[in-house]
């Protein structure tokens, strides 16, 4: 039995990259903590009298600084007064990434952190599970991307959102989190008017209540990832994501890329999504949605004129609900519509790999 139908067009495939200016991220693990220990204070050095004039031109200096990595920028603080004052703004706007508790703790305790007015566009925490620590001495007014990836026991403080410091936020990732629930989403959603990208994958304590609040308060959303793993079994009714969420997303957002694998959506919700947002859908993942039936595939095959730019469709591990529906008819229909598909792949169950990573 065929279990996977994947459509992909590499020329038209849209993927959202959560990595903002990765080559300029502040790699805190490489900070010279010996020269900038918490007990020391960094002051502007005296300008050397032998400095070549070319290095004292602010315009040229800004070009040089804009092409340096984080470690080099910190070394520039020691060159001269001009270099010091020119370098500080570049450091202040560096994207911050913390990949361990130790990195975050070092950042908070370093005197340089208290000296520099950090105002990053991207703040990312990864694999940090201690709940007693948050980034300190950071201004959030320019923050565009906020990510707590695989931080199971910590959340961005609600005060960050309520204080309206995150008015510029366009991307929010909170993945694999045990604390994220509907109450948290209800609290922050009214302050996310400019949000476009939302990644809540592998968060099992949220339900239709929280997702509906997000959808109704965030009309600019074009990317939503709510994927859940197959082995998850909802033991409480309020942990279920159903067609109520799907209809809210279809009715109130500008969704283009949607991952809702492992949820309890049904054929009615799928019909509403295609009816309202089909002309704009680029990617759709509905793996492990075991309540879908033959009717959903018929919705696709009968309404592909409503899906003119769909370039990736994932339907995995729900073959038992499709009966004898001919998946190849779905393939042939799209070829007749001249969509220039570069890859049409059917995967057997025995060779199937998880598709939860696509978003």
Q: At what angle do helices 81-92 and 58-65 cross, to 10 degrees?
A: 40
Q: Which long-range contacts (CB under 8 A, 24 or more apart) does 233-236 make?
A: 234/204, 234/264
Question: What residues does each domain of the chain span?
Answer: 54-93, 94-345
Instruction: Name which of 170, 129, 174 is nearest 152 in CA terms.
Output: 129
Question: Interior CA angle at 19 toward 122 and 102, to 5°?
Answer: 65
- Say how far apart CA 109 and CA 39 lie, in whole Å: 10
Give, for all 359 residues of the chain, the pLDDT tens digit: 433 444 344 433 334 444 444 444 444 334 433 333 333 445 555 545 455 555 556 667 667 666 666 666 666 666 677 776 666 666 666 778 889 988 888 888 877 666 677 788 999 999 998 776 788 878 888 899 999 999 999 999 999 999 877 889 999 999 999 999 999 999 999 999 999 999 999 999 999 999 999 999 999 999 999 999 865 655 555 578 999 999 999 999 999 999 999 999 999 999 999 999 999 999 999 998 989 888 887 777 665 678 888 888 888 877 666 665 555 555 555 544 434 333 333 333 333 333 334 55
Torsion of CA 270, 271, 276, 280, to 10 degrees: 60
Q: Which fold has domain 94-345?
A: 3.80.10
Question: Are 331 and 325 a contacting pair, CB within 8 Å?
Answer: no
Model pLDDT, residue 243: 96
CB proximity list for 221: less than 8 A, separation 6 or greater: 195, 196, 197, 198, 214, 215, 249, 253, 254, 255
- Residue 137: per-residue pLDDT: 78
Mode of pairing for the β-strands spanning 197-199 and 2-8 = unpaired
Q: In what order do the strands lie in the sheet with 145-149?
A: 25-27, 95-98, 122-126, 145-149, 171-175, 197-199, 223-225, 257-259, 283-285, 312-316, 2-8, 343-348
C-beta of residue 259 within 8 angstroms of C-beta of residue 226:
yes
Contact 145, 123 (CB under 8 A): yes
pLDDT of amino acid 129: 86
Q: What is the pTM of this model?
A: 0.73
Distance CA 254, CA 224 (A): 10
Cβ neighbours of 150 (radius 10 Å) = 15
**The pLDDT value given to residue 219:** 97
CB atoms within 10 A of CB 113: 19
For strand 312-316 and strand 2-8, is the pairing parallel, antiparallel, or unpaired? antiparallel
């Amino acid at each position: 039995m065929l279990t996977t139908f994947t459509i992909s067009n590499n020329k038209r495939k849209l993927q959202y990259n959560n990595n903002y200016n990765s080559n300029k991220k502040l790699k805190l693990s490489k900070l010279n903590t010996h020269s900038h220990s918490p007990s020391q204070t960094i002051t502007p050095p005296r300008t050397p009298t032998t400095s070549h004039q070319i290095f004292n031109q602010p315009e040229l200096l800004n070009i040089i600084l804009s092409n340096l990595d984080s470690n080099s920028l910190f070394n520039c603080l020691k060159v001269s007064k001009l270099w010091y004052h020119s370098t500080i703004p570049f450091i202040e706007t560096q994207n911050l990434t913390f990949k361990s508790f130790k990195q975050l703790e070092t950042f908070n305790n370093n005197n340089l952190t208290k000296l520099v007015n950090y105002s990053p566009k991207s703040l990312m925490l990864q694999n940090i599970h201690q709940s007693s620590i948050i980034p300190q001495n950071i201004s959030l007014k320019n923050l565009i991307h906020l990510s707590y990836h695989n931080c199971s026991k910590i959340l961005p403080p609600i005060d960050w959102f309520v204080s309206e410091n995150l008015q510029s936020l366009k991307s929010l990732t909170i993945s694999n989190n045990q604390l994220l629930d509907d109450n948290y989403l209800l609290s922050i959603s009214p302050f996310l008017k400019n949000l476009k990208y939302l990644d809540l994958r592998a968060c099992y304590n949220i339900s239709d209540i929280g997702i509906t609040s997000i959808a109704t308060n965030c009309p600019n959303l074009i990317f939503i990832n709510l994927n859940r793993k197959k082995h998850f079994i909802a033991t409480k009714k309020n942990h279920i994501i159903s067609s109520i969420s799907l209809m809210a997303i279809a009715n109130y957002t500008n969704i283009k890329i949607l991952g809702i694998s492992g949820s309890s959506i049904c054929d009615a919700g799928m019909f509403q999504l295609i009816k309202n947002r089909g002309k704009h859908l680029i990617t759709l993942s509905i793996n492990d949605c075991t309540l879908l039936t033959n009717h959903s595939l018929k919705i696709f095959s009968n309404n592909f004129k409503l899906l003119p730019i769909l370039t990736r469709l994932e339907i995995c591990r729900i073959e038992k609900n499709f009966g004898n529906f001919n998946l190849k008819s779905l393939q042939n229909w799209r070829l007749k519509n001249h969509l220039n598909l570069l890859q049409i792949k059917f995967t057997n169950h025995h060779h199937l790999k998880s598709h939860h990573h696509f978003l």
